[in-house]
Amino acid sequence: MVTGTEIELPVADGALSGVDFGGHGEGVPLVSPHVCEEFAVHPSAAPAVREIPVADRDAGPYGIATGPDGALWLTFAHSGRIARLTLDGELDAYPLDSPECRPAVITPGPDEALWFTRSRDHRIGRITAGGETESFPVPTPDSGPFGIAAGPDGALWFTEMNTDRIGRVTCEGEITEFVLPHTGAYPSAITAGPDGALWFTLNQANAIGRITVDGDITTHPLPTPGAAPVGITGDGAALWFVEIAAGQIGRISVDGEITEFPLPDRTARPHAIVAAAPGDLWFTEWGANRIGRITDGGEIAEYGLPSPSSEPHGITVGPDGALWAALETGGVARLEP
């Protein structure tokens, strides 16, 4: 285990706390040669923020996504459940077959269902809009699946943190795995890019990876040492990612050009990121209890959450156009820009 900054991602035993990822300490420059220093902290008017309780603190809301049914879907990491939340506040929770399976990231699939990773029992889960669930075992033992996203090929693609692989699962549950050219890389989040490939973060290899639907893999090292990238998303033009240990937001073009934007608070521990529109990105600051926003010009705004230490993790654009974030302490936050 690497010592340093603790963040909340599952490891081999599925735990979601106390994981060391290499801190922002000695030997990590505050601004690297490729960091954009000409950024601005944008003091725009704060959006309306509302918190909605969805579970007790022990349930651990973690991942969040908008479903094809116009509702929000959440993973309850600590209690092994998937929840459905309507915009009217109606909540349904569906227990999985293993309370300790640790559901993590959730995403809509091409089949009108939601797909999610089960990091502790190493399976890929699927749930219909009616709450029917099934799951598929990852072939490699103790793989630790975490990130998942729909690809342009009609399949779901996911990361295997513990075994340095990227997986592909069809809607019928057939899984193919691709070995990464790094060991101990800890692939984390994954997203579809504007170039028809999948892009992912390599948390411990300090790089951004790209895989084609044919399985060809390239990696791009980050300029800042020990940055520990986690969340990643595309805005239709480029890929945006967060650097949890360096306290920065990064942008990578499909050609591999990287720009990094330091946050005003370098200890904020940004975790997840989503695009509301091209050049309009929103992210969670797990360590600072805030939601942040960055434009393609590097303007940054940060908004505090009402409840202290609410531990924001996943973030998505809701069916109502607002930003929704999962709060591990038992709620969701809605921000209306």
> What are the residue numbers of the active site?
313
Contact 164, 200 (CB under 8 A): no
Q: Both tokens of residue 9? A: 């991602």
In the block, tokens 């969340």 appear at 231
CA dist 6 and 11 (Å) reads 12
CA dist 7 and 95 (Å) reads 26
CA dist 36 and 38 (Å) reads 6
Q: Both tokens of residue 134? A: 């099934």
CA dist 240 and 194 (Å) reads 12
In the block, tokens 């797990």 appear at 286
Q: Is the dihedral of CA 195, 198, 204, 205 positive or negative?
A: negative
Residue 182 half-sphere exposure, CB side, CA atoms within 13 Å?
22
What phi and psi, each to the nearest 5 degrees, are found at residue 76?
Answer: -105, 95
